Amino acid sequence: MTTTTTVNVSGERLWDTLMELAQIGATPKGGNCRLALTDEDGQGRDLVTGWMREAGLRIEVDEVGNIFGIRAGRNNSLAPVMTGSHIDTQPTGGKFDGCYGVMAGLEVMRALQQADVQTEAPLALAIWTNEEGSRFVPTMMGSGVHCGIFGKEVALTARDIKGVTVAEALQSIGYAGRMPVGQLQPACYLEAHIEQGPIMEAENKTIGVVTGSLGLRWYDVTITGMEAHAGPTPMAMRQDALYAASSLMRSVIDIANLSRFAPDGRGTVGEVHVFPNSRNVIPGQVRFTVDLRHPLMHQLDAMEATFREAAATLAGEGKVRVEVVDVQEFPATPFAAHLVDAVEQSAEQHGMSHMRILTGAGHDAVYMARVVPTAMVFVPCEDGISHNEVENADPAHLEAGCQVLCDVMLAQAGVVQPD
């Protein structure tokens, strides 16, 4: 379905909206702390749903607190064209991660209302619950339940570090909705987002045409040797768990850098615990995390096999025991080709510089892509910094991404031409 109707979004209004939302949970360094289902999140939800109602949207809230603002079309028997993201943040988060996607969707609705444009199919704007996973796990909770990745009770019974459940937190802020989870299924889903990485800025591109997400595998590794006194124990007789661990940790990085996995392979050791962590004791045990990513599943399989081979080789030397435990896996997820093409075509029509790009981060769109045609629109962020209070983006880039989002939503929903 296509349309020749052009509706111009307002970059100034979009920016002002982002800055007003950012006042809720503002941090000293200019960022945001608006953890999922806290009072601050409740205030943010109240503010945004108020704007949604003013833009003519009907508000529905489901059982895990996902919010949907629905704009009627001429034919409301059709599934809606949906956009959205999240407004919860990291403890030291920024103004744009997630929030840009919601506010860009809101700006599309406002622009359509101002231009008095009616679409054939309805439109919907989603605010997903607990995308960040900072207060409750699992991450991407609201979209995960919506898409059937895990059950409603898994979400509602999840507890924060104080023992508060999601169900209790939803009640406390007034967002324990009644709509059955998954009832509102869209025809397609689109999400605007800052890149959260440095590639687009380095390439001087305004629009990122996101083709899909990297596959991801997480592991917990435990290496056990023998703690002993640092002075009396000769080097050749040591069972140094940290020395062994450092070798395997380096192999994680080296694997991702291998030519057959580059440039899209990723290898990260993000968390390390040393026991007993004493200055004059040879470490007896080291626990660390491993994160492997690649957009091609057969390559991710090969990365894992190479990593496990390195672990087996280390264990075979006989100095330490090596245990590798699978933690979590996300398959590589391609986005819908026709929507990816539509994003690219809109950028070209407006003369916006653009590039095809993969997302290395998790987004609600990654779950949505498992159940409906999905695409994302990226814009650059300053120095590639995200999940940080200094996160920043150029207002002109934000407007450009919102305009592309508007174009694609109209193309998918269809525009009712005036008589």
| Whole-number pLDDT of residue 2 | 42
- Report the C-alpha gap between 66 and 82 in whole angstroms: 13
DSSP secondary structure letter of residue 62: B
Residue range 132-142: mean pLDDT, rounded: 94
Q: What would the two tokens of residue 203 be?
A: 């390439």
Fold of 215-330: Alpha-Beta Plaits (3.30.70)
Evaluated on CA atoms 102, 107, 113, 117, the torsion sign reads negative
| Whole-number pLDDT of residue 253 | 98
Query: Residue 162's CB: how many other CB atoms inside 10 A?
Result: 6
Of 238, 217, 398, 341, the C-alpha closest to 290 is 217
Confidence of residue 154 (pLDDT cuts 50, 70, 90): very high
Query: Residue 346's CB: how many other CB atoms inside 10 A?
Result: 23
| Whole-number pLDDT of residue 195 | 97
| Whole-number pLDDT of residue 257 | 98
| Whole-number pLDDT of residue 5 | 65
Residue range 19-31: mean pLDDT, rounded: 96
Q: Is the pLDDT of residue 98 over 60?
A: yes
Residues carrying CATH 3.40.630.10, the chain: 11-213+332-413
Residue range 108-133: mean pLDDT, rounded: 97
Residue range 220-243: mean pLDDT, rounded: 97
Confirm if 391 and 97 have CB atoms less than 8 A apart. Answer: yes
Angle in degrees, CA 22, 23, 29, rounded to 5: 80
Query: What mean pLDDT, rounded, does the chain reach?
Result: 96
| Whole-number pLDDT of residue 58 | 98
Q: Is the pLDDT of residue 3 over 60?
A: no
Q: What is the pLDDT of residues 52-84, one digit of tens each?
A: 999 999 999 999 999 999 999 999 999 999 999
| Whole-number pLDDT of residue 330 | 86
Quote the percentage of the chain above a pLDDT of 90.
95
Residue range 319-328: mean pLDDT, rounded: 95
Which strand (E) or helix (H) includes residue 59?
Answer: strand 58-61
State yes or no: cis peptide before 91, omega within 30 of 0: no
Under 8 Å CB-to-CB from 156, ≥6 apart: which residues? 63, 64, 165, 166, 167, 170
Pick the more confident residue, 181 or 4: 181
Q: What is the pLDDT of residues 368-403, one digit of tens each?
A: 999 999 999 999 999 999 999 999 999 999 999 999
CATH of domain 11-213+332-413: 3.40.630.10
- Report the C-alpha gap between 244 and 315 in whole angstroms: 9
Confirm if 208 and 355 have CB atoms less than 8 A apart. Answer: yes
Confidence of residue 360 (pLDDT cuts 50, 70, 90): confident
Beta strands in 72-135 (DSSP E): 81-85, 123-127
Query: Residue 383's CB: how many other CB atoms inside 10 A?
Result: 13
Residues carrying CATH 3.30.70.360, the chain: 215-330
Q: Is the pLDDT of residue 211 over 60?
A: yes
Q: Give the 3-state secondary structure percentages of the chain, helix then strand then coil, rounded to 5.
A: 35, 25, 40
| Whole-number pLDDT of residue 361 | 84
Confidence of residue 162 (pLDDT cuts 50, 70, 90): very high
Q: Is the pLDDT of residue 336 over 90?
A: yes
pTM: 0.89
Confidence of residue 4 (pLDDT cuts 50, 70, 90): low
Residue at token pair 């492997």: 292
